[in-house]
Structure 1
Amino acid sequence: MFSKAAFALVAGVALVAPSASAALAESPRHAPRDAVQQRLDQLVREDGFPGVLASVRDGKRVTDYTAGVSKLGTQRPVPEDAQVRIGSNTKTFTAVVVLQLVAEGRVDLDQTVEHYLPGLVRGNGNDGSKITVRQLLQQTSGLSDYDDVLFQKPQDLVDLSHSYFEPRRLLDAALTQAPHFAPGTKWEYSNTNYVLAGLLAERVTSRPIGEEITERIIQPLRLRDTYWPGVGEQRLRGTHPHGYVAVGPGEPWVDVTDMDPSLGWAAGQLVSSPSDLRTFFEALIGGKLLKPAQLKAMMTTVPAPGFEPAGDWSYGLGLASHALPCGGLAWGHGGDIQGFETRNLVTTDGRSAVVAVTALPTGEEMLNHVNATVEAALCD
C-alpha cells in the first residue's frame, strides 16, 4: 500500500539487505526443482529476504513454491501457500466492488466524489466537486497520499504498526496537504484515492466495505485464506510465516507479524495467500467478476510513471498492465505493507504467478529482483 515516497523512505535507510547472511545461514537446504525455485532461492541467498512464497500456473499446471525460513532464528521452512498480508492488492478488490455498483446502476464513474460524499473532500485546495469516481480508481485525482504524511521516519514502520486508524483519520491526514495537480491532468499513486473509494461504496450500499468485498468476491470465489481483518485484529488467523521490516542501515530485521492493518483499509487491509490471490486475478481477467463493459473500463489504462522502479507499466481502474520481456501484456497490481510484499501478474492465455516475500525490500534492487521473479515465472 505504500506510495513511491514512502517506499523511498524505507529504501533509503538501508541500501543492502540487513541480516542477509543470517537469512542465508538459516535457510533450509534443498535442491532447486526448476528455474522458478532457483530464483526464489536467490531472493533468500542473495537479497536476504527471510522467506519467499509463490504460486504459479502454466496452463493447467499449478505449482506452489517456498524458500527460506518461516521465522528467523529457526530452521522451520516457510509454510506452503500460507497467509500473508497483501497490501495494495486490496485496491483491486475495492475497485471490483465499485465497478459492480456501476453495473448495478448505483454508481456513475463520471459523477463527482462530491455527489456521493458531500462536503468530505474540501480544504487546502482539495475539491471533491472536481474529482470523478473514475479519477479515484485511475489514480489521476491529484490528491496527496496520506502515508506520506503519517510515515515521516523509518522507525514509524515499527512504532505505528500497532496503531488503529479510522478511515476518516487517513483522509484527514491527506487533506492537510494541497493537491499535487489538477484532477485528470497527471497520474500519481495515492492510497487516499482508495480510502475515498471505500467510503463511497459504504455510502452507496450502507454496508462496510469489508463485508461487500467478502460477499461479492471472497465467498463466490471460495477464497479460503482471504479475509478482511476485523477492527483491532492484529494477528493472522491461519498458518503464516513471520513478516519483517528494517529500520536503519545495518540494522536487523524487526518482526512485525502482528500489526494493525487499518492503516491500509480499503487501500491495503486484506489478508490472502498466493494461490487465493492468483485465483482472484485469474477470475477477474477471465470475466467472472465484472460484466464486459466494466471489465473493459478497468482495463483501459493510462501511462503510470513510477508505479514500479523499472519496466513498462500502465494503470487502469485498480489494475495495472505490464509489458513482459518475452512479449505480450500481463495484468496485476502488487502490494506492500509492514512485513510483506506481494507481486503478481496474470496473462489472458492461462499463465499467472504470485510471489510474496516476508519483508519489505530495503533497496530498489531487491524490489526489482522480486518483480523479475514474477516475470520469469511467466516467461521461462
Structure 2
Amino acid sequence: MAQETQQTLSEFVEAAAGKFGVPGVAVGVWAGGRELYACHGVTNVDSPLPVDQATLYTLGSVTKPFTATALMRLVADGRVELDAPVRRYVPELVLRDERAAAEITVLQLLNHTAGLDWRMSVDTGEGDDALAAYVAEMSGTEQIAPPGIRASYSQIGFNLAGRILEKVTGLTYEQAVASLVLEPLGLSHTTFSTADTLTGRFAVGHNLTADGTLVTARRWKDSRANNPGGGGASCVADMLRWARFHLGDGRAQDGTRVLPAELLRRMREQTVALRGSSLCDAFGISWFLRDVDGVRTVGHGGSANGQFAELLIVPERDFAVVALSNAGPDSGLAFNQSVVEWALEHHLGVAHRDPDPLPYDAARAGEAAGSYENEVMTLTIADAGTGLTIECAIKPEIRAAADTELPPDLPPADLGLLPGDADGYIVTNGGLKGQCGYFTRDESGAITGADLAGRLFSRVTVAA
C-alpha cells in the first residue's frame, strides 16, 4: 500500500507537470505519519539538471510565515508585544498619515490590517541597510484604510515587520530568522542569499512569450528589502519539515522547544475575516485560513518571477502538502493548485469546488466595468456585451523604471458575478482561474474599489 501511494503520487505529479507544461516540479506530502515525495523535470530548460528533493525554489510570499514565526519567538521571550505600536520598536517610522504611523500595531502588520498598500516600487540595494532605507521610503506611503478597519494583503507590512526583527535583535533580518527559526529547526537548505543558492542545485523561473515560447526568467529573486515578505528560497524537503513543525507542539524534530505550543496554535487562529476572497476566508497570524469541504486548512502561497510555491496544512488531520514549480501563472500556479486539490481529495476525501457564476447581466456588468489600481498594478474590468473580462497588469511606469526583469502580464480572462453576495465575482479561466473577489461601495452605493486575492484596488475610472 505504501509503495502504491508513492507511485500514485509520482504518476499524478508527472502527468500534471506535462498537462500544464511546467519544466520542473517538486511535491511533498505528509499523510498517515509518512513523508512522500515526487520530483519531476528539470531546473532550467537552457541548462537542465534533474529536480530533486534538495533543489531550491524561490518561495515568494511563502516566506511570510517564517517572518511571523521569528517574531513569535520574540513574543514568547517577552521582547515583543503583538498589541504594541510598531513605533515602540521602530521609532523612526514615518507615514503620510501621522495618526496611522503612531497607531499601527505589530499584529496589524502580521494579519494585513495595518491599512498599508500592497507594495512599494523601490529598490534600496543589497546592503545590510536595505530594510532601514526601505522604511525611510515609507514616508510617502498613503493609507488605503485606517489601521484595524479592514484586511488588505500587504507586502509593505511584512517588510516593516522584518525591520522590527532587526531593531529588537540587533541582527540583520536574515541573521535573525536564521538564528530564531532556520537553525533550531534544522532547515539547512532554506536561505535568503543568492550566493548560498548558487552553491547548490536551484530551479530557474520560466515565462511564456507572446508566441507561446517558454523562456528562462533572468531575475531570480526580489530585492533584499523584500526578503521579509517574499525573499526566501527553500527545497521541498525543508518545506515539509517546516510544515510538520507547524502541525506540532512547538518543538523541533530533535525535541528542542522552539515556540510554546499555545503561541504556535495562536498563529492558526482567526484574527480577521476576509470577505469574498479565494485567497482565504480569514487571516491568522500570517497564515491563510480556509474551510474546504467543511475542513479547516492553514496555508500560504507565493509567487516570484516564473516560480510558484504552495504550502497547506490540515492540523486536525495531521496532513501537509507542498508544491513547488518553475513556470509562470498559466502553468506553475495551475499545477500547484491541482496538486493541492488532488492531495486533499486523495488522502483526506476533501474536495474543493469553485462557485458557479450567474448568467450575464448587462446592468450589473456595466456598473462594474472600469479601471482600478494600487501602487504597482492595475485591474481593467471590461464589458464585452456578453460577459465581463478582467486584466491584471503591472503599471507601465513601474516597468519603465525597473532596472531588472519583471514578470509578464497575464492576458485578459473571463470574469463572472456571483450569486448570494451581489458584489462578489470569480475569474473563470486563464492564469487567475478560480480567484474570487468583490466590489466595495461607498455610502451612496457607487463602486469605489475591487478586491482581488485579498488586495484592494481603488477605482480610477468608470467605463464609458
TM-score by length of 2: 0.64
Structure 1 equivalent of residue 253 of structure 2: none
Does 2:18 match 1:45? yes
Which one has the bigger strand percentage?
Answer: 2
Q: 1:55 to 1:304 in 2, by over 3 A?
A: same
Q: 1:48 to 1:368 in 2, by over 3 A?
A: closer
Give the Cα separation in 1 of the matches to 2:115 and 2:222: 27
Structure 1 equivalent of residue 273 of structure 2: 303
Give the Cα separation in 2 of the matches to 1:90 and 1:300: 19
Equivalent position SS for 2:303:
strand
> Root-mean-square deviation (CA), in Å?
3.0
Residue pair 2:54, 2:189 contacting (<8 A) in 1 also: no
Give the Cα separation in 1 of the matches to 2:248 and 2:43: 33
Residue pair 1:344, 1:355 contacting (<8 A) in 2 also: yes
Structure 2 counterpart of 1:41, which letter? Answer: E
Structure 2 counterpart of 1:204, which letter? Answer: V
Counterpart of 1:200 (choices 147, 152, 164) is 164
Q: Give the drift of 1:250.
A: 3.5
Equivalent position SS for 1:67:
strand
TM-score by length of 1: 0.77
Q: Give the drift of 1:54.
A: 0.7
Q: Which has the larger radius of gyration?
A: 2
Q: Percent identity?
A: 25
Partner deviation per Cα, 1:236-289 (whole Å, 9 max, x = no partner):
331223222346564532333745652521111222111211211211231224
Equivalent position SS for 1:185:
coil
Equivalent position SS for 1:178:
coil
Give the Cα separation in 1 of the matches to 2:273 and 2:244: 23
Structure 1 counterpart of 2:161, which letter? Answer: A
Partner deviation per Cα, 1:168-214 (whole Å, 9 max, x = no partner):
45445555341111111111111111111111111111122211211
Residue pair 2:20, 2:334 contacting (<8 A) in 1 also: no
Task: Point out where structure 1 has 5 or more consecutive residues left out of the alignment.
Answer: 1-31, 151-159
Structure 2 counterpart of 1:320, which letter? Answer: F
Structure 2 equivalent of residue 265 of structure 1: 227
| Pairing 1:259-338 to 2, within 5 Å after superposition | 259=221, 261-288=223-250, 289-301=258-270, 302-305=272-275, 310=278, 312-325=280-293, 327-338=294-305
Q: Give the drift of 1:235.
A: 4.8
Q: 1:358 to 1:211 in 2, by over 3 A?
A: same
Residue pair 1:277, 1:354 contacting (<8 A) in 2 also: yes
Give the Cα separation in 1 of the matches to 2:12 and 2:125: 35
Q: Give the drift of 1:316.
A: 0.8
Give the Cα separation in 1 of the matches to 2:136 and 2:196: 23
Give the Cα separation in 2 of the matches to 1:335 and 1:124: 30
Which one has the bigger helix percentage?
Answer: 1
| Pairing 1:1-380 to 2, within 5 Å after superposition | 34-73=7-46, 76-123=49-96, 127-147=100-120, 149=121, 164=126, 166-172=130-136, 175-229=139-193, 233=195, 235-246=197-208, 248=210, 250=212, 252-256=214-218, 258-259=220-221, 261-288=223-250, 289-301=258-270, 302-305=272-275, 310=278, 312-325=280-293, 327-348=294-315, 349-362=317-330, 367-380=333-346
Q: 1:261 to 1:61 in 2, by over 3 A?
A: farther
Residue pair 1:55, 1:81 contacting (<8 A) in 2 also: no
Q: Give the drift of 1:142.
A: 0.8
Give the Cα separation in 1 of the matches to 2:265 and 2:6: 38
Equivalent position SS for 1:57:
strand
Structure 2 equivalent of residue 16 of structure 1: none
Residue pair 2:206, 2:214 contacting (<8 A) in 1 also: no
Aligned length: 332
Structure 2 equivalent of residue 17 of structure 1: none
Q: 1:216 to 1:106 in 2, by over 3 A?
A: same
Q: Give the drift of 1:368.
A: 4.5
Q: 1:75 to 1:267 in 2, by over 3 A?
A: closer
Which stretch of the first structure deviates more once superposed, 351-360 or 287-296? 287-296
Give the Cα separation in 1 of the matches to 2:138 and 2:15: 38
Residue pair 2:243, 2:313 contacting (<8 A) in 1 also: yes
Give the Cα separation in 2 of the matches to 1:311 and 1:137: 16
Q: 1:80 to 1:192 in 2, by over 3 A?
A: same
Q: Give the drift of 1:312.
A: 4.6
With a CA cutoff of 8 Å and minimum separation of 6, indicate the structure with the bigger relative contact order: 1
Residue pair 2:75, 2:82 contacting (<8 A) in 1 also: yes
Residue pair 1:164, 1:260 contacting (<8 A) in 2 also: no
Give the Cα separation in 2 of the matches to 1:101 and 1:323: 30
